[in-house]
Amino acid sequence: MIGTDTLDRVIGADVIDAEGNKIGTASEVFLDDQSGNPEWVTVKTGLFGTKETFVPIRNADLTGDGLRVPVSKAAVKDAPKIDTDGHLSPQEEEELYRYYDMGGTGTTGTETTGRHGTAEYTQTGTAQTTTNTGMGAGMTDPTGDTTANSTAGYTDTNRHGTKGHDTSGPTTDDAMTLSEERVNVGTQQVEAGRARLRKYVVTENVTQTVPVSHEEVRVTREPITDANVGNAMDGPAISEEEHEVTLHAERAVVEKEAVPVERVRLDTETVTEQQQVSETVRKERVDTDGIEGQGVAGRTTGDNRS
């Protein structure tokens, strides 16, 4: 069940029908004049959200998806077209009760609350909207508010104890707070990329020069002398002989071995640079309109909080 303590969550929430279909977006909540409980919510529908329709909120629930109401999207589409500005009269409320088959509540009207949880005036037993404009000094309206007349004009002091009242929602005090958005810029560490070190094998030709030697045969002739005549006469005088010499040669031999030549690793370093960021912020300003007379400033604008 929706109470006045949850109205801030209702305003702006998605409105879902009984079958789970999105109807639109909750805009304003209307409270019952007698009980003060939320009775109706206006739902913005249409392609651009320009159409507002009254939907019962008495038996609605707030879920993770939004505000779930006990009516269908088709019923909301064909609901009576009633002005959503200001007070909901008893006649208008009865028309809504009949359409949604909810039963009437008598002759009391319903007051809009906007984004907070209390009605501006508690109006009972009447079908008209109560205002303080034009009352004489010392007169009391149906809500019990007393309006005092002065030379500067009317001063209405309602049950909140403030001068004047809020026309767009509940009166909380006699001041308006202005706010603005500010940009808070920070940094967040994110993954910007990855570096990978990979080892692979390539083949290349290496050419080196190495000296090699070999033996060649050479025939040496020497005359017979007294020194070798003995060897020359050793053996038969005439015979056939054969003499053999083994020749040797060197050849290049290649052997390979793997030896470490270098070590490679990955490391990181932090580099700081300047980066500009831009964002759009909203600021509230205040205008005064219709203020005339001596001692009263004219139309002004500003953003001071009060």
Q: Which of 25, 85, 33 is nearest to 55 (CA)?
A: 25
pLDDT per position as a tens digit, 124-146: 333 333 333 333 333 333 334 43
Three-state DSSP class for 225? coil
pLDDT confidence bin for 103, thresholds 50/70/90:
low
Q: Is the pLDDT score of 215 beyond 50?
A: yes
pLDDT of residue 263: 93
On whether both 95 and 146 belong to a single domain, the answer is no
Q: Quick one: average pLDDT of 2-16?
A: 87
pLDDT per position as a tens digit, 14-49: 999 988 999 999 988 888 877 788 888 999 887 666
**Residues in Cβ contact with 156 at an 8 Å cutoff, skipping those fewer than 6 apart:** 132, 135, 145, 147, 163, 164, 165
Q: Is the pLDDT score of 247 beyond 90?
A: yes
Average of per-residue pLDDT values in the chain: 76
Tokens coding 302: 């500003």
pLDDT confidence bin for 168, thresholds 50/70/90:
low
Rounded CA-CA distance 284/305 in Å is 10
**Residue 272 falls inside a structural domain:** no
Spatial contact of 135 and 155, defined as CB atoms under 8 Å apart: no
Number of domains in the chain: 3
On whether both 120 and 159 belong to a single domain, the answer is no
Rounded CA-CA distance 103/98 in Å is 6
* Amino acid code (one letter) for 141: D
Q: Is the pLDDT score of 116 beyond 50?
A: no
**Residue 79 falls inside a structural domain:** yes
Rounded CA-CA distance 123/205 in Å is 103
On whether both 165 and 66 belong to a single domain, the answer is no
**Residue 233 falls inside a structural domain:** no
pLDDT of residue 153: 40
On whether both 120 and 136 belong to a single domain, the answer is no
On whether both 116 and 134 belong to a single domain, the answer is no
Q: Quick one: average pLDDT of 150-168?
A: 51
On whether both 21 and 115 belong to a single domain, the answer is yes
- Strand partners for 53: 43
On whether both 30 and 111 belong to a single domain, the answer is yes
Tokens coding 102: 């909810």
What CATH number does residue 35 fall under?
2.30.30.240
pLDDT of residue 161: 61
Helix residue spans in 187-288 (DSSP H): 229-232
**Residue 229 falls inside a structural domain:** no
Q: Quick one: average pLDDT of 176-185?
A: 89
On whether both 103 and 31 belong to a single domain, the answer is yes
On whether both 35 and 66 belong to a single domain, the answer is yes
Spatial contact of 130 and 106, defined as CB atoms under 8 Å apart: no
**42, burial (CB in 10 Å: exposed 0-12, middle 13-18, buried 19+):** buried
Rounded CA-CA distance 304/306 in Å is 7
How many CA atoms, within 13 angstroms, populate the side-chain half-sphere of residue 195?
A: 6
**Residue 32 falls inside a structural domain:** yes
**Residue 221 falls inside a structural domain:** no
On whether both 75 and 20 belong to a single domain, the answer is yes
On whether both 157 and 101 belong to a single domain, the answer is no
pLDDT of residue 120: 37
pLDDT per position as a tens digit, 254-304: 999 999 999 999 999 999 999 999 999 999 888 887 776 544 444 444 444
On whether both 59 and 97 belong to a single domain, the answer is yes
Spatial contact of 79 and 53, defined as CB atoms under 8 Å apart: yes
pLDDT of residue 287: 85
pLDDT of residue 207: 92
Q: Is the pLDDT score of 239 beyond 80?
A: yes
Q: Quick one: average pLDDT of 75-87?
A: 83
- Phi then psi for 5, rounded to 5 degrees? -80, -10
**Residue 90 falls inside a structural domain:** yes
Q: Residue 87: which domain range? A: 4-124
**Residue 16 falls inside a structural domain:** yes
